[in-house]
Amino acid sequence: MIITDTHTHLYAEQFDEDRHEMIQRALECGISRFFIPAIDSTYYDKMLDLKKAFPEHIFLMAGLHPTHVKADFKAELDIVKSFLENHQCVAVGEIGMDLYWDKSFIKEQQEAFKLQIILAKEKKLPIVIHCREAFNEIFEIMDEVCDESLKGIFHCFTGNEEQANKIIAYGFKLGIGGVVTFKNGGLDKFLHKIPLEHIVLETDSPYLAPKPFRGKRNESAYLVNILEKLVDIYKMTPERIAELTTFNSQEIFGA
């Protein structure tokens, strides 16, 4: 059984003390494909170190996270473009909008999102979207730029059924993580109506640990707990869900 974690920050500081052991725990659980989104250029060296250490298991992205978009974001985007040109990447991500923490750079976030979508189209790469309290703003941009050439994942989907169907209509997959295990997360109320062909699995580790680890450091091995919840929702075997969601990830990333 091959399980794919489509979104995990394995380079994060939270793993500095036990990174290789943590990855080994995931591998022992059958999680053997790790897709690594970028935050900003300060992490690229650590991402490359991961790829060197686990070349068969690590897949890299390049992008500027919306919470790291500041006044000088275009200089960061130049580094994103350079990284894409000089290293093997499977996506532009994570990109998008986040209006939860700070709205002072909303215009810059919008422009950075659009420019990175354009870059992804130029490179014929999918995108991985971060959306927090910004569904309407992101949908407005997607309605403007989305076409058949653009595909990707709405990472850490926490929206409602209507928003899920709108995302699917764009041709995107829903990234389902630890929130699906939360009692008041809401996803378990309608996710069974969403065909599994539109779903990929993710942890977003070290963030958003699923039950029973909620509030603690998340890690890729805990993807098993998310998989178990989908077994309950879809009434399928874990092997079948792992197979289908891994296939979906291959369809998006080409890897």
pLDDT bracket for residue 101 (50, 70, 90)? confident
Query: pTM higher than 0.95 for the full model?
Result: yes
Q: What is the pLDDT of residue 218?
A: 98
**Mean pLDDT of all residues in 212-226:** 97
Q: What is the pLDDT of residue 117?
A: 97
pLDDT bracket for residue 49 (50, 70, 90)? very high
Residue 200 CA: distances (Å) to CA of 62, 86, 207: 19, 28, 17
For residues 211 and 114, give the distance between their C-alpha atoms in angstroms, rounded to a whole number: 35
Residue 35 · residue 61 · CB < 8 Å:
yes
Q: Which H or E run contains 28?
A: helix 19-28
Residue 242: DSSP 8-state: H
For residues 64 and 62, give the distance between their C-alpha atoms in angstroms, rounded to a whole number: 7
So where are the chain's domains? 3-253
CB atoms within 10 A of CB 36: 24
Question: Which of the residue ranges 62-66, 83-87, 146-150, 233-237 would you say has the lowest mean pLDDT?
Answer: 146-150
Task: Classify domain 3-253 by CATH number.
Answer: 3.20.20.140
For residue 5, is pLDDT > 90? yes
Q: Name every residue whose Cβ is closer than 8 Å to that of residue 245 and which is 6 or more positions away in sequence.
A: 3, 4, 196, 199, 200, 201
- Structure-token pair, residue 203: 């942890």
DSSP reduced 3-state for 92: strand
Per residue in 128-180, pLDDT tens?
Answer: 999 999 999 999 999 999 899 999 999 999 999 999 999 999 999 999 999 99
